[in-house]
Structure 1
Amino acid sequence: MTNVLYEVADTVATITLNRPEAANAQNRALLDELDAAWRAAELDDDVRVIVLRANGRHFSAGHDLKDRWPAPEPVTLEWIYNAEAERFLGYALRWRNTPKPSIAAVQGKCIAAGLMLCWPCDLIVAAENAEFSDPVALMGIGGVEYHGHTWEFGARKAKEILFTGGAITAEEAARCGMVNHVVPLDDLDAKAYDLARRVARMPPFALRQAKRAVNQTLDVQGFHAAIQSAFDIHQTGHGNALSVSGSAMLTWLDGMKDKLTSE
């Protein structure tokens, strides 16, 4: 693997996003390698905790809009739906339900699909310079495929973020309950690993039970059904874009991604 690095030390598996030159934008190869790393950590009996981090200035600029997957001509909504159900929503839900505790360490920009990498994690540690946003409405779509906004921010803040395309700071995200700890950038990895080591000292089966109890409570409250329903709503954005412009998206955000990679 080159887009993602994977290592295990002292019962902690570290998964590192490794496309810093592209602000860790997610192409197909990165997503497939990332899923393979999650699976390796889940299956390794020596791993008790998973840490997800990123090389470079930014955690993730979201989907790599310049990555063109093999697709039919013309592109159909059925193809888009199936591809996103597998690699976007499907992967994110699988990572969320991995029975081992996971911690995301986030710095810099975390844009749109970047949220779909940190939200499935059980805990989030953010650097003081971290910013979280989902400006996908600029593309004619009402939010990313794993639509956890309402659960992570609350309804009012979720609407503000989606309606304006603006970003919230790490401190704001912590006040919403999305982020567990905010630390100086230089302390980000140290805090994430200190937390991981504390968690790793707990009995593994107890951790698995605790995680299942919390996730299952959210599911009973409607999380899983809401995520699936929002994914279907997301596809209407693609359908509208196809009917209006022949493209899967009405507006591209390449300019913003290029700005991040040049910084």
Structure 2
Amino acid sequence: MHSSDSEFIVRQDNAVYETDTPVLYSVAEGIATLTLNRPTFNNAQNSQMTYALDACFRQAVNDDSVKVIVLRGNGKHFSAGHDIGTPGRDIDKPFERAHLWWDHTNKPGGEQLYAREQEVYLGMCRRWRELPKPTIAMVHGACIAGGLMLAWVCDLIVASDDAFFQDPVVRMGIPGVEYFAHPYEMNPRIAKEFLFTGDRMSANRAWQVGMVNRLVSREELESATYALAAGIARQPRMGLALTKQAINHVEDLQGKRTAMDAVFAWHHFAHAHNELLSGDKLGGFDAKGMARANKQAEDKSQ
């Protein structure tokens, strides 16, 4: 008699959410604003936030009055990345899935993590990149690791001069975040430096390498972003949608999508390697450990 794998899996869904609205949604003058709303934890991304963000993107797409979508963060930072240590970390909580992968929460071994990250990270980001309406990321403060994915799926990035960008996950033995757009957001040599060192990239440097479209003061960030959005909103909807589709298609012909598939596999090989070496898929780093490492990077950059 054979037992199914799921008989040996115990769900540990003990997440405690600090808010019922991890993403705020509003519309004014043809512009939808989606605001990441976990400021207590610097807008760290748990599944609750990710699925709420997907629902808000869907709402904006379905609303014919919305011409442009702006994504911003509440509090001191745009996003500190994936949630790897708050009370709201919910990797074992099942959600009504938006992508193609099965429920990960009752699966054994690497199947659990692989299915979750296909759904919540790589799959979601690809969906958002293909939204038929222009999207603008309004970035201030920290944009770290998973935060990069949220900014990079947007068509344009407006950053304040106090913003910085960072992907420190090589410290975990992992080759960058799941939505691996680094060589497309900056040239390959700069991408290697960015990942090899784990150092912070200033908003000015990000603008110089072409990752950021517009660099403004913190005081001007909101007005500059919405002025840009208002100008785009005056263009015909179909023209914008086709232009976005055309440029995304050219990127994919250059290998962006297939490259991400390959790196996603290496990303999960790294998780498996960490698990074999230390019993921890993150290589022994928790939220506090990464915060200490990021503080060292901050001191180094000053």
Is the 1:25–1:60 Cα contact (8 Å) retained in structure 2? yes
Which one of 194, 202, 205 corresponds to residue 172 of structure 1? 205
Which one of 72, 76, 88 corresponds to residue 109 of structure 2? 76
Aligned to 1:33: 52
Is the 1:112–1:135 Cα contact (8 Å) retained in structure 2? yes
Instruction: Give the CA deviation at 1:228.
Output: 1.4
Instruction: Give the CA deviation at 1:251.
Output: 2.9
Aligned to 2:269: 236
Instruction: Give the CA deviation at 1:49.
Output: 0.4
Aligned to 1:90: 123
Correspondence 1:209 to 2:234: no
Aligned residues: 260
Measured in 2, the distance between the counterparts of 1:102 and 1:134 equals 22
Q: Deviations over 1:195-222 (max 9, x none)?
A: 0000000000000111111111101111
Superposition map of 1:115-134 within 5 A: 115-134=148-167
SS in 2 for 1:185: coil
Gaps of 5+ in 2: 1-19, 93-103, 295-302
Measured in 1, the distance between the counterparts of 2:291 and 2:239 equals 42
Instruction: Give the CA deviation at 1:167.
Output: 1.0
Is the 2:140–2:159 Cα contact (8 Å) retained in structure 1? yes
Residue identity over aligned pairs, in percent, reads 46
SS in 1 for 2:219: helix
Instruction: Give the CA deviation at 1:226.
Output: 0.9
Measured in 2, the distance between the counterparts of 1:193 and 1:77 equals 43
Correspondence 1:181 to 2:214: yes
Is the 1:138–1:251 Cα contact (8 Å) retained in structure 2? no
Length-normalised TM-score, structure 1: 0.95
Is the 1:12–1:48 Cα contact (8 Å) retained in structure 2? yes
SS in 2 for 1:186: coil
SS in 2 for 1:5: strand
Length-normalised TM-score, structure 2: 0.83
Gaps of 5+ in 1: none
Aligned to 1:60: 79
Aligned to 1:18: 37
Measured in 2, the distance between the counterparts of 1:74 and 1:96 equals 28
SS in 2 for 1:132: strand
Correspondence 1:142 to 2:164: no
Measured in 2, the distance between the counterparts of 1:106 and 1:253 equals 25
Larger RCO (CA under 8 A, 6+ residues apart): 1
Q: Deviations over 1:64-104 (max 9, x none)?
A: 10214217699611111110000000111111000100000
| Amino acid in structure 2 at the alignment position of 1:199 | I
Is the 1:140–1:251 Cα contact (8 Å) retained in structure 2? no
Relative to structure 1, the CA distance from residue 200 to residue 73 in structure 2 (aligned partners, 3 Å threshold; closer, same or farther) is closer
Measured in 2, the distance between the counterparts of 1:121 and 1:10 equals 20
| Amino acid in structure 1 at the alignment position of 2:187 | G
Correspondence 1:111 to 2:144: yes
Is the 1:125–1:181 Cα contact (8 Å) retained in structure 2? yes
Instruction: Give the CA deviation at 1:126.
Output: 0.2
Q: Deviations over 1:121-145 (max 9, x none)?
A: 0000000011000000111211100
